[in-house]
Chain A
Amino acid sequence: MTVAQNHYDAIVVGSGISGGWAAKELTEKGLKVLMLERGRPIEHIKDYPNAFKEAWDYPHRDKPTNQMKKDYPVLSRDYPLNESTFGMWANEQESPYTEVKRYDWFRGYHLGGRSLLWGRQSYRFNELDFEANLKDGIAVDWPIRYKDLAPWYDYAERFAGIAGVRDGLDVLPDGQYLPPVPLNIVEQSVAARLKKAFGGSRHMIHGRCANITQPKPEQNRVGCQYRNKCWLGCPFGGYFSTQSATLPVAMKTGNLTVRPFSIVTQVLYDKNTKKARGVEVLDSETNMTYEFTSNIVFLNASSFNSTWILMNSATDIWQGGLGSSSGELGHNVMDHHLGVGAFGEVEGFDDKYYFGRRPSGFYIPRFRNWGSDKRDYLRGFGYQGSASRQGWSRNVAELSIGADFKDALTQPGPWSIGMGGFGEILPDHSNRIFLDKNRKDKWGLPVLAMDVELKANELKMREDMKQDAIDILQAAGVKNVQGYAGDYGPGMGIHEMGTARMGRDPKTSVLNGNNQVWDAPNVFVTDGACMTSASCVNPSLTYMALTARAANFAVEQLKKGEL
């Protein structure tokens, strides 16, 4: 009886962007799937309590309190700690981790994971991104090329709904787009001036984002209402999330079971078949342990937690866990380094304003070490930014307090434009995570320790990231340009990648070209852990494409009896 209840064709661990995709693909192909989520359930629309709130609806006007800062010391290092998304980030007291060096780990432990909170920028890796490691002699070669993933990018974009423009740039391959989120008049003007100033070698284009600019009635999604409140959950289904897009499709098949409050503590490995037979689950509410069995397992628990599960699995065979035979499990942590850019003021548009609040702005694709450009570091960076008129928080230096001051602040100020870089971090064996066996979480499970830092290549790149931003804005006629180089701790990009990389050789990689764990081919890892290099573009779209591709492969293999 127990066996019948607890056996599925496939188990998906995690419910974020990649877990949602895995569940959708596998259930649509007819598999009975169990999705395990360590946190609480969140129901689309019903459980978005703050979706219609404004600053005045919060006791502290959306600012974090001292108590919140005390309870969430990591979150308080950057923007995520506020009243509106409170409760949407992992509890740092219950789930601590060890920082050998500073590491900012922003986690979403609830159904939907960070798909509810993500930045939604959606770019494809380019051909060179998949060849760069080989060409540069860095880490290992990707086992796949752009052409392997291109049809899956198409597929993922069509379903998720990506707003953008086909700009025809090699550095940023075009995809399947809905109409773009518009650039405003100032951004259009600066874009035109930029193109002229750099002879067509640098481009300011529409950001490509997973916000739908046309309805998707087949998904019951109304579309973006230009409220710019995406991270509160969108009652209009305006952006792609597990709840708005993949989960409803998976549920509709009748093949999906979702089990919340389920911490997967290990993959159960069968040494006779050399495959996984399922997973062990600790119920986070009852502390009861359960076994669920399946033919295949997809690990989509977020980069570091998927690796944490592997590290805790099959330790009787491999001391370092399943996938550790390569010596690379937990290594090659990457993120995108940021916090560097420039801003300034744009003259000549005092008679222009805008209506609506966009969920995306402009993008400047990588131009460093591209084409004939050659720098004293490897790889490159892109910029994200926007132009807007300054609001009430600006200084009106010439006015004292009182009526005139107030009336001036009720009107928009000068136009500002600003942008920040997202830089590629090279995979480096010494940037790693490992189990801290001396420290336990609320459930008595060993926690992760982070030992990650920026290396010389990234530090050199950051100099360019700042200076190029200044140069670009100045060349485009922006006034009072100021560069900035702010605080960045690894992880702050919330793009943690690596630790179970794909590769061509089981001796140097954890996963093969189909995201299978070399040492247990019915275990697939398709979240950020699988990344062999990081590119400089936001990674989530690539996880979607990799997951759909791997799920398709897994089902084909199952049908052939190969798994």
Chain B
Amino acid sequence: MNRRDLLKMIAAATGMAMVGGELWAAGMKSPDAGKTLYTADDVAMLDEIADTILPQTSSPGAKAAGCGAVMAVLVNDCYSLEHQTLFFAGLKHIKSLSKQQFKQDFMALKPEQKLALLSQLDLEAKKGGTSGLEGSSSLASSKSSDRKGELHYFTLLKQLSLFTFFTSQVGGTEALRYVAVPGKYDGDLPYKKGDKAWAT
């Protein structure tokens, strides 16, 4: 297998390039670099967002996998300044949308309210429409990094939630199947719908 081409192919096929790929352009850190950019409240909010995207079902959800804290680390250490800024602004925007639509703090929303709010953002992001975020258009297109048009902050949130969940031990071993040392390869394994995917 040609690992290098395969990675690019996966990125091209899924848009996962945004996690770890070219869109995480190297360069400047946020002016606050070195400090912890996120408070415990921020991490709690990231947990809630990730857990709304990937809730507990027959397997644990994103909060149980500790996604929020890892998301904060990845944004701090791996995101470009451009995406850090967009990400921050997105969190603020979600808070204000919550106030607008439900007259409550996002953290105080009922699960179905959170789902409704974030589903609407997901739809917006999928359509490639504006996020209603002031300046987001110029932010997202200021570099050659955005090939699909305007980048919606929710795309970052969703991809980061998926990435941190499915690469977590909880996600990898409980939501997915994981065998550390397979010892053999069987290329003709029967599959029935519902069987879990392999973690790696």
Interface residues of A (CB under 8 A from B): 52, 54-56, 59-67, 69-70, 73, 76, 78-79, 119, 181-185, 187-188, 207, 225-228, 338-339, 341, 343, 350-361, 384-386, 389-395, 397, 400-403, 405-407, 409-413, 416, 418-420, 422, 482, 484, 486, 492
B183 close to A402 (CB less than 8 A):
no
Residues of B within 8 A of A405 (CB): 53-54
Contacts of A353 in B (CB 8 A): 189-191, 195
CB of B197 within 8 A of CB of A392, answer yes
CB proximity to A under 8 Å, residues B52-79: 52-55, 57-59, 61, 70, 73-74, 77-79
9 residue pairs bridging A and B, Cβ less than 8 Å apart: A54-B169, A59-B77, A66-B78, A69-B27, A70-B26, A227-B181, A338-B4, A354-B187, A392-B197
Tell me how far the C-beta of B10 lies from the nearest C-beta in chain A, rounded to whole angstroms.
7
The yes or no answer to B93 lying at the interface (CB within 8 A) is no
Please give me the residue from chain B that is nearest to A73 by CB atom.
B26
Instruction: Choose the segment among B11-19, B98-106, B133-141, B143-151 that binds chain A (4+ C-beta atoms closer than 8 Å).
Output: B11-19
Contact check, A55 vs B172: say whether CB atoms are below 8 A apart.
yes
- Give the residues from 38 to 63 in chain B that come closer than 8 angstroms, CB to CB, to chain A: 52-55, 57-59, 61
A60-B73 contact given A182-B185, A358-B1, CB 8 Å threshold:
yes
Could you tell me the distance between the alpha carbons of A451 and B20 in the complex, rounded to whole angstroms?
30
Within 8 A of A (CB), among B183-200: 183-200
Interface size of B by CB at 8 A reads 76
Residue of A nearest to B24 (CB): A63
**B110 contacts across to A, CB distance below 8 A:** none
Query: Looking at the complex, which one of B118, B175, B185, B189 makes contact with A358 (CB distance below 8 Å)?
Result: B185
Return the contact of A54 from the options B20, B172, B186, B196 (Cβ within 8 A).
Answer: B172
How far, in Å, is A268 (CB) from chain B's closest CB?
39
CA distance A49 to B79 in the complex (A): 27
Cross-chain contact B26 with A410 (CB below 8 angstroms): no
Bound: A411/B20 CA distance, A? 23
Q: At the interface, yes or no: B91 with Cβ under 8 Å from chain A?
A: no
A56 touches B6 (CB 8 A): no
Give bound CA distance, A482 to B11, whole Å. 13
The 9 closest A-B pairs by CB, nearest first: A184-B187, A420-B5, A69-B26, A356-B182, A356-B185, A361-B1, A353-B191, A55-B167, A384-B2
User: In the complex, A354 Cα to B182 Cα: how many Å?
Assistant: 11
Task: Identify the closest chain B residue to A400 (Cβ).
Answer: B119
**Chain A, residue nearest B174 (CB):** A410
6 extra interchain contacts, Cβ-Cβ under 8 A, other than A60-B77, A385-B1, A386-B1? A60-B73, A338-B2, A402-B119, A418-B9, A420-B9, A486-B8
Interface residues of B (CB under 8 A from A): 1-10, 12-16, 19-20, 24, 26-27, 29, 52-55, 57-59, 61, 70, 73-74, 77-80, 115, 118-119, 122-123, 126, 158, 162-164, 166-169, 172, 175-176, 178-200
For the complex, what is the distance from the CA of A55 to the CA of B79, rounded to whole Å? 18
Given A397-B126, A401-B53, A405-B53: A60 touches B196 (CB 8 Å cut-off) = no
A386, B6: Cβ atoms closer than 8 Å:
yes
For A181, list chain B residues within 8 Å (CB): 185
A395 & B15 in contact (Cβ 8 Å cutoff):
yes
Using CB atoms, name the residue of chain B closest to A69. Answer: B26
B33 to chain A, nearest CB (A): 8
Q: How far is the CB of B122 from chain A (nearest CB, A)?
A: 5
Expressed in whole angstroms, the minimum distance between the Cβ of A192 and any Cβ of chain B is 14
Q: Please indicate the chain A residues that have their CB under 8 angstroms from the CB of B188 in the complex.
A: 184-185, 352, 354
**B167 x A61 contact (CB < 8 A):** yes
Report B199 CB to chain A, min CB distance, Å: 8
CA distance A7 to B27 in the complex (A): 49
Give the residue name and chain of the A residue nearest to B193 (CB).
A411
Given contacts A79-B7, A393-B162, contact A64 B2 (CB under 8 A): no
B121 to chain A, nearest CB (A): 9
Query: Which residues does chain A contribute within 8 Å of B184, judged by CB atoms?
Result: 226, 355-356
List chain A residues, Cβ under 8 A from B126: 397
Chain A hits for B73, CB < 8 A: 59-60
Question: Which of the listed residues B4, B59, B167 has the most CB atoms from chain A within 10 Å of its own CB?
Answer: B4
Among B2, B52, B80, B115, the residue within 8 A (CB) of A420 is: B2
B183 contact from A52, A66, A225, A393, Cβ within 8 A: A225
Report the nearest A residue to B119, measured CB to CB: A400
Instruction: Find out whether the CB atom of A339 lies under 8 angstroms from the CB atom of B166.
Output: no
Choose one: A227, A361, A401, A410; the contact of B180 (CB below 8 Å). Answer: A227
Least CB distance, A420 to chain B, in whole angstroms:
3
Q: Is the CB of B77 within 8 A of A410?
A: no
Is the pair A393, B10 in contact by a Cβ cutoff of 8 Å? yes
Kindly list chain B residues whose C-beta atoms are within 8 Å of the C-beta of A183: 187
Q: In the complex, what residues of B have CB within 8 A of residue A184's CB?
A: 187-188
- A351-B190, A411-B196 given; A403·B183 CB < 8 A: no
- The answer to whether A351 and B192 have CB atoms under 8 Å apart is yes
Q: State the Cβ distance, B163 to closest chain A Cβ, in Å.
A: 7
Cα distance A492–B13 in the bound complex, in angstroms: 22
The residue from B1, B55, B70, B176 contacting A402, defined by CB atoms under 8 A apart: B55
Q: How far is the CA of A390 from the CA of B169 in the complex (A)?
A: 20
Q: Which residue of A lies closest to B168 (CB)?
A: A56
Q: Are B57 and A351 in contact (CB under 8 A)?
A: no
Which of A119, A338, A406 is the one whose CB lies under 8 Å from B61? A406
Q: Chain B residues near A66 (CB, 8 Å)?
A: 26-27, 29, 77-80
